[in-house]
Amino acid sequence: MIELYHIWKQYQKPHWALSDITLKIRKGDFHFITGPSGSGKTTLLRIVYRELFPTLGQIIIDGRNTLRIPEHRIYKLRRIMGIVFQDFRLLFHRRVFDNVGTVLQVLGTPQKEIRRKVFNALRMVNLQHKMWEYPSRLSYGEQQRVAIARAVVNNPKIILADEPTGNLDPELAFEIMGLFKEINKQGTTIIVATHDRELIRHFGYKILFLQKGKLIGKEGF
C-alpha cells in the first residue's frame, strides 16, 4: 500500500530532517509514528501526502510512484487519502456541513451525493446534529471530530493524522483514537504521528520510532 525507499529530506545544509527511511505499510494496517519534537514525524507525513518532495528516495503508494505524478494530476493521489491536521484547518466562516463537504465539491460530486456522504461522515463521529453550526460554536473536541469527518467523507484508502490529539485532554484524546480504531476496522490504512506514549501503550498496533530524522526502531511488526 505504502512503500518508502531510502527517503532523505534536507531543508538546509548540513542537517537532514529525514535520513535513509525505508519502510512498507500494508493495506489495512494501523501505524503509530512516534519520537521527540523535531524527529521528522510531520516531514514524513507531508512527503507521503506529497505536500513535500524528498531530497532523495522513492515513494510507491497503491502501486504508483508518487514522485512521477504530474502536479495537475496529484488530485488523483489525494482522492485515496484523508488528512487530519493538528491545527484542524477548518474554515470558520463556513458551516460544519460545508467544511466536511469541501473535498467532494472540489471533485465535482453531485449535490445529492454530497449531502448523503457528509451526513454519514458526521454520523460516524456523532456530530450529525451539528451540521449547520459554525466551527466557532463547537468545543475543541467537536472541532477535531469535524476534521476527522472531513478526512473520511470520501471513503479514503489511507488516513494520515499529524498529532491529532496533541491539544486535547486525555479523555478526548482516547475518544478520538477510538474513532480511528473503528475506521481502521473497516479496512482503512491509518498512520498517526504522535508523541503521546500513553495513547500508544493503550492502543498498541505497529509503532515506528524516529529520532533526529532516523528510523531507530519498530514494534509490533
Give pLDDT tens digits for 56-103: 999 999 999 999 999 988 888 888 999 998 788 899 999 999 999 998
Contact in structure between 32 and 15 (CB atoms under 8 Å): no
Whole-angstrom CA distances from 170 to 103, 108, 142 are: 30, 38, 15
Phi, psi of 66 (to 5 degrees): -70, -25
Give mean pLDDT, residues 181-200.
Answer: 91
Does the structure show a pLDDT above 70 at 221? Answer: no
The CATH T-level fold of domain 27-53+70-219 is Rossmann fold (3.40.50)
Measured distance CA(51)–CA(137) in Å, rounded = 30
Amino acid letter at 15? H
- Is the Cβ–Cβ distance between 28 and 62 less than 8 Å? no
Q: Residue 191's pLDDT is what?
A: 96
Q: What is this structure's pTM?
A: 0.89
How does pLDDT run across 118-163, given as a tens digit for each residue?
999 999 899 999 999 999 999 988 998 899 999 999 999 999 999 8
Share of the chain above pLDDT 90, in %: 68
Which residue spans within 26-139 are E strands per DSSP?
A: 30-34, 56-61, 64-65, 81-84
C-alpha cell, 28: 489495512
Question: Between 103 and 33, where is the model more confident?
Answer: 33
- Sign, CA torsion 145/27/220/213: negative
The residue with greater pLDDT, 85 or 33, is 33
Residue 26 to residue 190: CA distance in whole angstroms: 10
Contact 159/108 with Cβ under 8 angstroms? no
- Omega of the bond leading into 14 within 30 degrees of 0 (cis): yes
Which three-class secondary structure state does DSSP give residue 92? coil
Answer positive or negative: Cα dihedral of 128, 96, 162, 170: negative
pLDDT at 175 over 90: no
